[in-house]
Amino acid sequence: MAMARPSHTTTSLSLVVVALVFHWCQFLFETVLEFRQRTAIRKPSPPAALRSIFDETWYKASQSYALDRWTYRLIHSVYSTFETHLVISYELMPRVWNACATWAAASTYAVTPTAKEVLASIAFVFLLTLVSVVKDAPWGAYATFVIEAKHGFNKQTVRLWLMDKVKGLGVACVLVPPIIAAVVASIRVFASSAYAVTLLWAVIMAFQLLMVFLYPNFIAPLFNKYDPIPEDSPLRADIVRLAEKVSYPLQKLYVVDGSKRSAHANAYLYGFGKNKRIVLYDTLIKGFAELNEEDEAAKDQDESRNNEHVCSVLAHELGHWNHSHVIKLMVMSSALLFAQLQGYGLIRDSSVLFEAFGYHDHAALPPKPVLIGLLLYQLFSVPVDAFLGFLSNLVSRAFEYQADQFARTLGYAKELAQSLLVLQQSEKGSLWMDSWYGAYHSSHPEIAQRIDALGVVADSDKDFVQKLKRREVARRSGEDKKSA
């Protein structure tokens, strides 16, 4: 039996149409950007400044990786767009909510109407999360075990991938209920107050700050192993000297086993006040070590160079800390969230809006559920969210240049430029980015622009260029042996 399409009044139908128009306009705009980026990816050769560094074989491999990911993004975007259209048109979310509300109303675990709304909201989120995990699993599996594996990046087993999903659900089971309870209570308890939405903002911000502490200390260790770098390690000594030079209050220094999942590399800083920590991916350290694996005659000198490359990456990260970029982004994010929640405050009591999308009041629960109101507001904030995302990336790219310049003032301009090239080679990153696509989507400038801003000629160090090329040949040989 076919599912009946819900009937609407003229006003409610207009609201649904507006939401769908916003949704499809975003899809069409982003699709145009994707095709512009596809044209950029398919350029026949690297930028002139990098042409002598990346050979034709590597360039074609990077194009293949970028195009595979591009095709995946496009197909997934089409699927998601039609899915959202059907979910809205056939009121599938309201059906789930009504089932959760009916269950909560009959439940003896909650007595007051607000408590029943909290229970219904928790059940609603968990059901949607489970559906999302199952629905998105094939997409995630394809990206990991087909695309990433094809291009030599995936290192995780199916068992590890499934365990990550289970652990993720376990973390959600612990964190989601108190968050939902606090969000709902902030509106219901102070419903008559002019500051109810402000209190909701404070609750969300408090959770975000709590996650800054919880994630690196308790959640991330559930998924990866963090080993302290040995006290007698030359790398540790170099990093400690760098931290002392810029007065960074480093307390702990870790290497994380990122290689058990992926060949991608990273490094980051975290911590409150005087309790700062640095985390290096083992893939980052290995990537630089590969430059000198065949040069036994200058092993000690080359180890020092490897450490300089690692320190140059950390000098960039310390630039973010020195310029308070994380704090500035958090302040900007909190201000934007405050403004957006004021918009939610304008529609949270709109019966017409809730009815238009199929959400009807339940006798045992307070009218116009808080969680549903927030979801409905998101449907109409699509243009604003897209514009804010554009501004956020604009600011982020400026911050990247600032962090690069900080590394330059510390004397790491050449080493950072070389590190960017090593990472670009390892990641098979696209050397071209369409200007519109980059402005809208990218939080980092193109590598050629960053190296130019550092005042470095990319291929000026011929010895380094040769090592980079030998490293790529060795990597390709290793991949060929594995595929054989």
Which class for 451: exposed (0-12), middle (13-18), buried (19 or more C-beta within 10 A)? buried
Distance CA 11, CA 8 (A): 8
317 among known catalytic residues: yes
User: Is residue 150 within 8 Å of residue 182, measured between CB atoms?
Assistant: no
Q: Please state the φ and ψ torsions of residue 276, each to the nearest 5 degrees.
A: -95, 150
- Report pLDDT for 13: 77
Q: Enumerate the domain spans of the chain.
A: 226-327+395-483
320 assigned to a ligand binding site: yes
Which tokens sit at 220? 């991330």
Q: DSSP letters of 185-248?
A: HHHHTTTTSTTHHHHHHHHHHHHHHHHHHHIIIIIHHHHS-EEEPPTT-HHHHHHHHHHHHTT-
Write phi, then psi, for 250 (nearest 5 degrees): -70, 125
Closest CA to 170 of 237, 218, 112: 218
- The sheet with strand 276-281 has its strands ordered as 226-228, 250-256, 276-281, 267-270
Q: What is the value of pTM for the model shown?
A: 0.91
Q: pLDDT tens track of the chain, all 484 residues? A: 445 555 556 667 789 999 999 999 999 999 999 999 999 999 999 999 999 999 999 999 999 999 999 999 999 999 999 999 999 999 999 999 999 999 999 988 888 999 999 999 999 999 999 999 999 999 999 999 999 999 999 999 999 999 999 999 999 999 999 999 999 999 998 877 778 899 999 999 999 999 988 998 899 999 999 999 999 999 999 999 999 999 999 999 999 999 999 988 889 998 887 889 999 999 999 888 887 765 555 555 556 778 899 999 999 999 999 999 999 999 999 999 999 999 999 899 899 999 999 999 888 899 999 999 999 999 999 999 999 999 999 999 999 999 999 999 999 999 999 999 999 999 999 999 999 999 999 999 999 999 999 999 988 889 899 988 888 888 877 665 565 5
Q: Measure CA of the first residue to CA of the last residue in the chain; give whole Å.
A: 52
Which CATH number is 226-327+395-483 given?
3.30.2010.10
295 has catalytic annotation: no
323 is in an annotated binding site: no
In eight-state DSSP terms, residue 428 is T
316 marked as binding residue: yes
Pull the structure tokens for residue 97. Answer: 């909510």
Query: Which residues touch 325 (CB under 8 Å, ≥6 apart)?
Result: 399, 402, 403
Residues 162, 137: Cα–Cα separation, whole Å: 9
**Rounded CA separation 350/15 (Å):** 12
What is residue 1's predicted lDDT score, i.e. its pLDDT?
43
What DSSP character marks residue 8?
-
Active-site position among 117, 308, 317, 415: 317
Question: The tokens of 59 are what?
Answer: 């360039």
Catalytic residue among 404, 415, 434, 446: 404
